[in-house]
Amino acid sequence: MAEPLRLMAVHAHPDDESSKGAASMARYAAEGVEVLVVSCTGGERGDVLNPRLQGDARLARDMAEYRRREMAEAARVLGVQHRWLGYVDSGLPEGDPLPPLPPGCFALEPLELTTNALVHVVREFRPHVMTTYDETGGYPHPDHIMCHKVSLAAFEAAADPEAFPAAGPAWQVDKLYYHATFHRRRIRAFHDAMIERGLESPFAEWVQRMDADAEEGHAHPAPPELEITTRVECADWFETRDRALLAHATQIDPDGFFFGVPMDLQREMWPTEDYHLAVSHVPTTTPEDDLFAGLREGVA
């Protein structure tokens, strides 16, 4: 039998996997690819973001347990495997000046310790492709930035037989991708299409900020965006993605921006999920339409 292709998606919190790359994962899982989501933290410090559930004392009392159940349901919906890395949510610091992060949280753990934990998972699962965030984390949450650091370090260390020898036999992951989900071109395209249809755009405030950032001489210009190298066609799995998102009931507002663009418009305007190829150990040519470009013949 041919060896199955394997994809590992490393995320900071439960629910991140359903908002970034979920339709791609569901597509690959349906095609027979083995897909594993790794959640670095349990999301214990997440706020209740669904207005319908705010004020429920049970959630505040045991957020960790609720988020475990939500993650299990999202994984079932997507058809993927799931693994907890086991670290504690750092929370999103707010204020001026920003308060210190809580002791023992993921973002303050020694990089060698967290890398060792993820290398164990990489060498056990032996993915051909890994996905994670770029160095900005996608947005400046300390766990997202730490997730990038850990993922990149584990991607490199897993292939080195002298690194973390107790973690199992060395395994070289062939390709590493960064998510490029909420990029400006996509947001602008949806916003303009909604306005043209006479509909209220859920991205109006985003576009206003983007326009302000683009003004000449702006004090805090937005950082340059990732080059999109890979666009995975997955419109047939957008509804699966949305069901996975809704499984994270504490975190997702059913009336929020995730669901503000009609499904037919999403499929017409942007039928892909987008990625940046950060590292490849196999020959490939960009632009790609497959995370496994350059691998299918050699593996399967």
CA-CA distance, 154 to 143, in Å (whole number)?
A: 16
Bond prior to 97 in cis (omega within 30° of 0): yes
CA-CA distance, 259 to 239, in Å (whole number)?
A: 10
144 labeled binding residue? yes
Buried b (16+ CB within 10 A) or exposed e, 265-286: ebeeebebbbbbbbebeeebee
248 labeled binding residue? no
62 labeled binding residue? no
- The enclosing H or E element of 27 equals helix 22-30
**Rounded (10°) CA dihedral 288, 289, 294, 300:** 180
Neighbours of 171 (CB within 10 A): 17
Bond prior to 287 in cis (omega within 30° of 0): yes
Strand partners, 115: none
Extract the tokens encoding 116: 């060792």
List the one residue out of 281, 19, 17, 41 whose CA is nearest residue 150: 41
> Binding site for Zn(2+), residues?
13, 16, 144
> Binding site, residues?
13, 16, 144
